[in-house]
Homo-oligomer: A and B are copies of this chain.
């Protein structure tokens, strides 16, 4: 291989220019007002990928557009299917952004923008590596790419797309770009993800807002009924108070426990710039075990009544909450969803109306930890970064992983380069520029080593 570091240096401005174009699209899939930006973003990707690989298309038959692209197939090379998503989480300056989340900037060696860590930045690591390799000659592998626009809103367009186009997506290996790294300068191979069940709870008390003095103590307060449900669902130690929820949680095997305990990273390092007064959760488990191997219920949002400045003595008519339960092998989303609904309704004050909507579900995933593709990634990382990728699980959810495993292949790799404190889903999301550059080199080299993996 030629000197990839030098080649990346030569082209970094061009790579960043392309990356910044992608980051500027406000492709927030949860927000119906962003539909047009989603569409413009997928069109842009089709143009870009057509130039890069030869063929590209967007398919909006199943929801927000699924973007698919491929190189002309060469029969003696392995086929790698790259997966990623171009949609992002919502981002508003009130959340604490110090820059415009949709106007990328490089600040103190960090690229800062919504989606830079999840998943536009990591995606462009892979696509930039392909640009590099293409400039050097024929690609060492056949490449297929599938990108979805509903990952952050738990949509299922990609699932329907895959079900309808299984033949076209045939491959020897799937690489997910939607993965994080271990720390500055060290990538990670992620072999497990938690699944999820996401719910919205709506509670209605009286049919209109009331004067809290004239009716408080007689008319049920939906906010009080809601906090009762939300409080009682979680024990002070973080255990989820949903009967049957832990029945199918797979115990952590001793080998994995030892490996997690030995990871060269403190909880403080994992938290990075995050400041917090104390930690919570099941104290009988290591901090990373709590995040990777144990279920968790998280209140993602609550709103009721008057939330503006000053005092308003209102007894609110409605109260709503969003919550998500992260699930682990061998929990089944449908079973957990049902158990959760039952527990919520059991906790509901009969004087109020409680409705529950499931906003998304995803299976947990456990993948392979060894094999030739893993070897290729390790070798590339060792040569470029001087260290093998850490082998980790992730507390987050990449719903498509379990689906890939069931429908396409279980030869699945997730290799990432961001740092755990990258602020994915929060304000001031970032990707270290040095890790972005190193990632391009590692991926370029890895593709080269994958040449003979079939």
Residue positions of A touching B, CB distance < 8 A: 29-32, 89-90, 95-96, 118, 152-154, 180, 194, 196, 198, 200, 205-221, 223-224, 226-228, 230-232, 234, 236, 238, 267, 271, 274-282, 287, 290-291, 294-317, 319-320, 322, 324, 326, 349-353, 359-360, 394-397, 420, 423-428
Least Cβ distance of A28 to chain B in Å? Answer: 9
Given contacts A214-B420, A280-B349, A351-B280, contact A322 B306 (CB under 8 A): yes
Set of chain B residues within 8 Å of A218, measured between Cβ atoms: 267, 279-281, 287, 290-291
Please give, as numbers and ranges, the residues of chain B lying within 8 Å of A360 by CB-CB distance.
311
Q: Are B301 and A220 in contact (CB under 8 A)?
A: no
Contacts of A298 in B (CB 8 A): 212, 216-217, 221, 224, 313, 315
Q: Which residue of B lies closest to A206 (CB)?
A: B276
Looking at the complex, which one of B196, B302, B308 makes contact with A313 (CB distance below 8 Å)? B196
Are A207 and B306 also in contact (CB < 8 A) when A153-B311, A311-B198, A359-B311 are? no
Report the bound CA distance from A30 to B353 in whole Å: 30
Are A313 and B32 in contact, with the CB atoms below 8 A? no
**Are B274 and A311 within 8 A (Cβ)?**
no
Which residues on B sit within 8 Å (CB–CB) of A219?
Answer: 271, 274, 276, 279-280
Known A96-B317, A231-B228, A280-B219; contact A300-B212, beta-carbon cutoff 8 A = yes
- Shortest beta-carbon contacts, A-B, top 8: A213-B396, A278-B351, A217-B296, A30-B310, A231-B231, A301-B305, A211-B425, A216-B298
